Chain A
Amino acid sequence: QKEVEQNSGPLSVPEGAIASLNCTYSDRGSQSFFWYRQYSGKSPELIMFIYSNGDKEDGRFTAQLNKASQYVSLLIRDSQPSDSATYLCAASYNNNDMRFGAGTRLTVKP
């Protein structure tokens, strides 16, 4: 079974802090990993993707992948109230299947 697991939260951090979101996946055949942000009542939008072990940085966001531990994380530095949303982790398999986690709800308090 190809599962992607996330802590549903809610995760609450103060403005300016680092938010850390975590995700694990069950299938070692997973090839690429994605972080999406979904505001309430809106569609998901891609933040970034990663497919190599290590860190990948894009502005305030850093994705981390550890294939040995089957673990993906997203760090959001200098969190802003506008970052308050549900963050979805996803894994692709053979480029013909995509599995999403249930999402972690993040609240950034001013």
Chain B
Amino acid sequence: KNEVEQSPQNLTAQEGEFITINCSYSVGISALHWLQQHPGGGIVSLFMLSSGKKKHGRLIATINIQEKHSSLHITASHPRDSAVYICAVPRIQGAQKLVFGQGTRLTINP
């Protein structure tokens, strides 16, 4: 079993829909990361969170430490949100070595 599991692996939706991507992990963590990989390949860090919720524009990330689960939500989705979304956690609390999920490929159709 992977240490970091994402679901779904692929998601296609219509513009305007509310999107949820899930991440479950089995390692102990101090913070969880959400990354976005654009179709051109570039990787951008979206959020780093260790508790509760963070919001940036139409993106909202939540985490439940007890349940070892995080969700990334996108409100009013747009075709430019089409990307691969990746979650990652440190393998050891406070350490630099991240373990990555396999990513969720999101496609938003106009």
Q: Do A and B bind each other?
A: no
